[in-house]
Chain A
Amino acid sequence: DTGVSQDPRHKITKRGQNVTFRCDPISEHNRLYWYRQTLGQGPEFLTYFQNEAQLEKSRLLSDRFSAERPKGSFSTLEIQRTEQGDSAMYLCASSLSLGTEGGEAFFGQGTRLTVV
């Protein structure tokens, strides 16, 4: 399977714990995006990388959230001191940018986080 893969698919954690999600993009894609989707809503942009550089972060990404993309390959999204409001589906997407063209984004199946 050469699509975007996310791990784990589901995560249940207690409030106050830290969690980390992993995203493996399509191998030749140089852009990687994280989105959050709550029940009944469309995805909301969190952050994106071009290669290993994090180029933009949304206001939704509080100080408890951190994302990395070492060596421009896979990415991790960590949430510290989780809160019940963090319960959501976290979606990763990747695309191939050519010059200034962003290209279409391909999404993974997401990580469903439940904070109890």
Chain B
Amino acid sequence: AQSVTQPDIHITVSEGASLELRCNYSYGATPYLFWYVQSPGQGLQLLLKYFSGDTLVQGIKGFEAEFKRSQSSFNLRKPSVHWSDAAEYFCAVGGKGAQKLVFGQGTRLTINP
């Protein structure tokens, strides 16, 4: 069965500190992987995606993620967080056609000033 696990429900970091959000997936075929961000009461905005090729992908707002097939992981990183990064982050997996996405439970990010 397809599934996504985000082990950390809530993470707090200080402004300017580095960030890593974990994502592990289970998928029977070649996965298409995504990270979305959601502000309170809003829809989802795509941060970055991995379809194929270079396993280190760059996204918007200074985020990057690395696909590690051997670990079934797609962790999201940012070298220095800003207060505006406080939000909910969702990892998702889909198939080649990306007809439907399976989302993780989400990680809520709080930024300390």
Q: Do A and B share a complex?
A: yes
What residues make up the interface of A, taking CB atoms closer than 8 Å to B?
Answer: 4, 6, 31, 33, 35, 40-45, 48, 55-56, 58, 91, 93, 95, 97, 100-110, 112
* B52-90, CB < 8 A from A: 90
Q: Is B25 in contact with chain A by the CB < 8 A criterion?
A: no
With A42-B90, A43-B44 as known contacts, state yes or no: A105 contacts B98, CB within 8 Å: yes
Judging by beta carbons under 8 Å apart, are B34 and A104 in contact?
Answer: yes
**Nearest CB to that of B32 among chain A residues?**
A102
Seen from chain B, the residues whose Cβ lies within 8 Å of a Cβ on chain A are 4, 32, 34, 36, 41-46, 49, 90, 92, 94-106
Q: Would B44 and A102 count as touching, CB distance under 8 A?
A: no
Are B103 and A102 closer than 8 Å at their CB atoms?
A: no
* Contact residue among B95, B100, B105 (Cβ-Cβ distance under 8 Å from A45): B100
- Give the chain B neighbours of A31 by CB distance below 8 A: 99
Contact in complex: A102, B102 (CB < 8 Å): no
| A109 to chain B: closest residue by CB | B43
Q: How far is the CB of A96 from chain B (nearest CB, A)?
A: 11
13 residue pairs of the A-B complex, CB under 8 angstroms, read A4-B43, A6-B43, A42-B105, A43-B90, A44-B103, A45-B100, A45-B101, A45-B102, A56-B100, A95-B98, A100-B97, A102-B96, A107-B45
Q: Are B98 and A108 in contact (CB under 8 A)?
A: no
- Taken together as a complex, chains A and B put the C-alpha atoms of A110 and B95 apart, in Å, by 24
When distances are taken between beta carbons in the complex, the residues of chain B under 8 Å from A33 are 99-100
**CA–CA, A6 to B34, complex, Å?**
22
Task: Please pick, from A41, A55, A105, the residue contacting B101 in the complex, using a CB distance under 8 A.
Answer: A105
Given A40-B105, A101-B96, 17 extra CB contacts under 8 A: A4-B43, A33-B100, A42-B103, A42-B105, A43-B90, A45-B102, A48-B100, A58-B100, A91-B44, A93-B44, A95-B98, A100-B97, A102-B97, A103-B98, A104-B34, A105-B101, A107-B45
